[in-house]
Amino acid sequence: MALEDARGTVVAEPRDPAGEHRAAYPAHTRLGHLLVRLSTQPGWLAPLALLGCVSAALGYVAANDPTDAVRDPLGPCLFRATTGLDCPGCGGTRMAWYLLHGNLPEAARHHLAALLLVPFVVFGYLSWTSSRLFGTRPWRPGRVFWLTVAVGWVLFTVLRNLPFEPFLSFRV
């Protein structure tokens, strides 16, 4: 537990296991409160780890252009190779590549359902990160949201595999 003086400045911190004092921050400021919280509660590690994983995945997509004719290091989609159908995620990598390059029409053409979910995923991540850092209440979508997403995803997957117009335009 930190000791504060009359102005709210942290004047003493308990010793860490190595026996050293941690730096004192003015706890009465927002920045000081955040710095004390970050140094004493590692709640920021999970959002940082998730951000690192997503960044690595997007870096892989950016480095290996999935829209060219060159075979990717991970090979083709196993579901499509065995069934000849587009799987629920088919086109997602190309959608991410086009989204990284700011080409929204092509991103929508490759996977409209995933593109529509991107703002919700980003908002959910920011809400969760804010709750971990600042103790705010995170956004938790309800059953109706998840049911809509599931039904929409299944419907999109079925429609994109129908072999006649106007659904042939969903194929990638």
**For the chain, domain boundaries:** 1-40, 43-170
Chain centre to alpha carbon of residue 59: 13
Phi and psi, residue 26, nearest 5°: -70, 105
Identify the helix (H) or strand (E) that includes residue 86: none
pLDDT digits (tens), the chain, 172 positions:
555 555 655 555 555 555 555 555 555 677 877 777 777 777 778 898 999 999 999 999 888 888 887 777 777 778 888 888 888 888 888 899 999 999 999 999 888 899 999 999 999 999 999 988 888 888 899 999 999 999 999 998 888 888 878 877 777 7
Alpha carbons 95 and 102: distance in angstroms, whole number: 10
Question: What pLDDT was estimated at residue 3?
Answer: 54
Alpha carbons 82 and 93: distance in angstroms, whole number: 19
Question: What pLDDT was estimated at residue 154?
Answer: 92
Q: Which residues contact 31 (CB under 8 A, 6 or more apart)?
A: 25
